[in-house]
A and B are shown apart, each in its own frame.
Chain A
């Protein structure tokens, strides 16, 4: 297999940080999938190809992409306009893959989004991007203009019957905007509180119309699946979940960064071979495998293949696949305190278990760090994780917040107890 075939999503991205323009993207095979889809494939067969590929969402939940698309009502009486949205909010702490994909190769996202739009016969596409991603915004805006000029967007794309407008929507910052129904409200100019489901967005989304929302990394897979076929796509993987995955690592490893690797590459292999292992003098203690809202994994899990099922079997979630590494010179209680502070701040306040539970947990953890921990604190924290669990709250922010907390209480219990016993944080001088 050629190198380009092994890393379809990133092989073309330049290492000097410069962006791929339209010409360069086309030279790497860009917009061939769009030509193929509009020239030879029905929307239905594009959906079928993606369904057969087994592509699962890269935004955190892993929902099968082709199946999601198939929920959009079709036929002459189906409601219009229809919308397709790239979720480029990327505010999950420790996650930095979508920024890289957008800054390096904005046309790849645009092509994926047009193909998703074609598959559901959408009329309007939005790229919903967080306000802080200025360089990505500039590059996307330019790339969208280039795509219009080349006839890849607008009326009768590539002289076909399909038309699609694309709008870059720059958000104003709040974690809840990334939750898909919060995103819909944000796009409508409202506070990004989540909506009750059903109805689900593919049936009634933005402005009450059918809407598909996919993560940036999910969408950039689509042109490659359409160009090379589902069988090729499945062959890229080392596990039952197909394709490649952009894995990342931050924290005190030797070479923090991002790597596109076969789906199912083992956790320890990523940390050792790609991230270079721990910095000299430091030991590995644990890792949040897929961003802030996933359970810690520890030493015994280093052999776990990083795919949806295996990480789940190990007690965590693949999430965004960008790992945050905890070393033995960093306080696990301090780390969890930082995480819970984030979730408490970003809670929209709609549900009591989330808003008040997280604020309570935040205070207990902060006090523990400052040497004011009390006996019974761990039981209180444990109790809170039960209330934050799935089913008790309106959206997945609260269960996500519970994940690092409950797993830290399990794997780093001694460290919590020491804080209380010694009435100080042992990591602070």
Chain B
């Protein structure tokens, strides 16, 4: 079930759009902000609130990169794998992260601390390589800088 808070936030969005469906991506992001991810149950609840079919909503959910349909760790690391970062040493950054965390892309560490994902160009190409950790941008990456960022993630 959606919490009263989630429902309120979703309904606030409805005021801006002429259809209920238009709010569906926002609604999934609101739920994800509260719970970390969007479960099948949440899909059904949101679909009902917005008067859509759950199958249609799931089709939208799976289309977008930033909607998580599986549980994620406490910290989500998204590493840019696009062209400028590739030129500037993405492969080394990826190797360092996978070795340090002991997980591959798409996986969550057994202690539930980290999820590692690839992401497309973050618009920080002049400071490549780049990554997002919990939506915060980190640039000019090298192994030392990555270690410092990871230390701060409890």
Contact = CB atoms under 8 A, between A and B. Distances in A.
Interface of A: 90-96, 98-99, 131-135, 167, 170-175, 186-192, 207, 248-252, 256-258, 288, 292, 322, 324-327, 330, 334-335, 338-339, 342, 345-346
Given A335-B86, A338-B83, A98 B123 contact: yes
B124 to A, nearest CB: 6
Given A132-B122, A346-B120, A93 B63 contact: no
B126 A93 contact: no
B126 A90 contact: no
Contact of B83 (A94, A173, A174, A345): A94
B11 interface: no
A189 B25 contact: yes
B63 A175 contact: no
B119 A132 contact: yes
B149 interface: no
Interface in B10-25: 16, 18-19, 21-25
Interface stretch (B1-9, B99-107, B108-116, B127-135): B127-135
Contact of B126 (A186, A191, A192, A258): A258
A251 B87 contact: yes
Contacts of B84: 93-94, 250-251, 324
A189 B20 CA distance: 9
Contact of B123 (A133, A171, A207): A133
Nearest to B82: A93
24 contacts: A94-B83, A94-B125, A95-B123, A96-B121, A99-B123, A134-B136, A135-B137, A170-B26, A172-B25, A172-B64, A172-B66, A172-B67, A173-B66, A173-B120, A186-B25, A189-B19, A189-B60, A191-B59, A249-B126, A251-B88, A288-B83, A324-B83, A326-B87, A327-B87
A251 B63 CA distance: 30
A257 B24 CA distance: 37
| Most B C-beta atoms less than 10 A away, residue of A131, A330, A335, A345 | A131
Interface string B22-43: 1111101100000000000000
A42 B54 CA distance: 47
A49 B26 CA distance: 37
Contacts of A187: 22
Contacts of B63: 174, 191-192
Contact of A174 (B64, B78, B137): B64
Contacts of A335: 83, 86-87
A188 B22 contact: yes
A330 B66 contact: no
A292 B126 contact: no
A211 to B, nearest CB: 13
Contact of B125 (A96, A190, A207): A96
- Describe A's contact surface by its main secondary structure: mixed
Given A188-B22, A191-B59, A207-B18, A91 B121 contact: yes
Given A251-B84, A342-B82, A96 B124 contact: yes
A90 B84 CA distance: 15
Contacts of A99: 123-124
B36 to A, nearest CB: 15
Contacts of A322: 125
Nearest to B135: A134
B117 to A, nearest CB: 11
Nearest to B59: A191
A327 B86 CA distance: 13
A307 B66 CA distance: 35
A99 B126 CA distance: 12
A222 to B, nearest CB: 22
A18 B143 CA distance: 28
Contacts of B65: 172-174
Contacts of A135: 137
Contact of A250 (B60, B126, B132): B126
Interface in B53-91: 59-60, 63-67, 78, 81-84, 86-88
B83 A190 contact: no
A361 to B, nearest CB: 16
Contacts of B29: 131, 170, 172
Contact of B21 (A174, A188, A342): A188
Contacts of A327: 87
Nearest to B20: A189
A256 B126 CA distance: 5
Given A96-B121, A292-B121, A338-B81, 10 more contacts: A93-B82, A94-B83, A98-B123, A186-B25, A188-B21, A190-B60, A191-B63, A252-B87, A256-B126, A342-B82
Contacts of A207: 18-19
A91 B120 contact: yes
A127 B29 CA distance: 17
Contact of A131 (B50, B66, B86): B66
Contacts of A131: 29, 66
Contacts of B135: 132, 134
